[in-house]
């Protein structure tokens, strides 16, 4: 397949990049790998072989209950979802799935290519409301493609950053990991930047007519405090989410979010390698 066909993947019909041959066998094997130390080590070694074999090509495949077109070369999220979805935030997703009910309202901040949004949509039914917020233009195009490939009809993609005030912000991008972007300067010395529109979480919810929020996921590379602190300060308590998955970026936060969340009645349910999970019971 020609290079320009790979680069314009969104223009190709779904199924064009279905896994075949060695790649298909590698994906099947990595997805069956156990969660043991040796199982993970074996899966990661095979995953590296799979990436080399793909040579930058995308893959059309089902993952986490949804159809997706994944570009695993240069995006850690897509690599994990393609080869080892069983390891992708497994404890977080299990806790989230147990709380999904009728009319579930979920906001995915830093949605990347839609893994969390589509995971929820596949389980939440037709009355769910899901916002997938992703500011990076290239990743947003992948997100909207994946949403359109599925029949759920409950996921809306929003192309903006969330922060402590509306306006326009500089978004820093890591070229080695296209899914990693932040309004705070990244640790990578090779980061680039783009200007993107921004709003607050409260303004977004108000503009979308949200009257409740069952769960929220925040993964914005160290800028989670810029979103949550003003929201919990200014939003009515009726809009506070009952369940929160937040990337553990405590070394980069300028606000002590764990202390703030505890003061607002949240309790820590789980601390994983990458995330903190909080829940607040309705009063």
Q: pLDDT: is 165 or 4 the higher one?
A: 165
Of the ranges 26-35, 128-137, 175-184, which one carries the lowest mean pLDDT score? 175-184
* CATH class entry, domain 90-279: alpha beta
Q: Per-residue DSSP letters for 74-130?
A: T-HHHHHHHH-GGGTTHHHHHHHHTT--TT-EEEEET-TTTHHHHHHHHHH-TT-EE
Give every CB contact of residue 98 below 8 A, 6+ residues apart in sequence.
none
- Is the pLDDT at 176 greater than 80? The verdict is no
> If you average pLDDT over residues 193-200, what whole number do you get?
90
**pLDDT for 187:** 59
- Is the pLDDT at 134 greater than 50? The verdict is yes
Helices 115-124, 90-97: crossing angle, 10 deg rounding: 30
Write down the pTM of the prediction: 0.90
- Is the pLDDT at 170 greater than 90? The verdict is no
- Is the pLDDT at 108 greater than 70? The verdict is yes
Helices 76-83, 21-32: crossing angle, 10 deg rounding: 80
The two structure tokens encoding residue 160? 């903006």
- Under the banding of pLDDT at 50, 70 and 90, the label for residue 5 is very low
Average per-residue pLDDT for the chain: 91
**pLDDT for 281:** 82
Distance separating alpha carbons of residues 193 and 174, to the nearest angstrom: 9
Listed by start position, the domains of the chain span: 3-85, 90-279
**pLDDT for 186:** 56
- Is the pLDDT at 172 greater than 90? The verdict is no
**pLDDT for 42:** 96
Give every CB contact of residue 240 below 8 A, 6+ residues apart in sequence.
213, 232, 264, 280
């Amino acid at each position: 397949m020609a290079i320009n066909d790979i680069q314009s993947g969104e223009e190709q019909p779904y199924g064009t990049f279905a896994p075949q041959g060695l790649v298909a066998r590698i994906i099947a094997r990595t997805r069956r790998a156990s969660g043991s130390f040796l199982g993970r080590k074996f899966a990661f070694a095979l995953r590296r072989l799979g990436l080399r074999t793909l040579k930058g090509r995308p893959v059309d495949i089902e993952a986490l209950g949804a159809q997706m077109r994944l570009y695993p070369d240069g995006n850690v999220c897509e690599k994990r979802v393609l080869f080892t979805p069983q390891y992708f935030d497994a404890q977080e997703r299990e806790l989230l799935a147990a709380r999904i009910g009728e009319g579930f309202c979920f906001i995915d901040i830093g949605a990347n290519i839609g893994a969390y949004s589509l995971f929820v949509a596949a389980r939440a039914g037709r009355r769910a409301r899901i916002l997938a917020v992703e500011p990076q233009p290239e990743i947003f195009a992948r997100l909207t493609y994946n949403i359109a490939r599925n029949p759920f009809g409950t996921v809306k993609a929003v192309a903006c950053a969330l922060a402590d005030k509306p306006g326009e912000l500089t978004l820093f991008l890591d070229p080695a990991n296209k899914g990693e972007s932040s309004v705070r300067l990244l640790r990578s010395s090779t980061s680039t930047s783009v200007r993107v529109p921004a709003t607050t979480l409260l303004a977004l919810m108000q503009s979308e007519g949200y009257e409740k929020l069952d769960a929220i996921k925040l993964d914005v590379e160290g800028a989670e405090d810029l979103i949550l602190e003003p929201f919990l300060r200014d939003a009515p308590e009726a809009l506070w989410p009952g369940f929160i998955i937040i990337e553990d970026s405590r070394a980069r936060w300028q606000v002590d979010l764990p202390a703030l969340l505890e003061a607002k009645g949240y309790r820590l349910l789980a601390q994983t390698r990458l995330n903190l999970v909080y829940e607040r019971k309705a009063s």
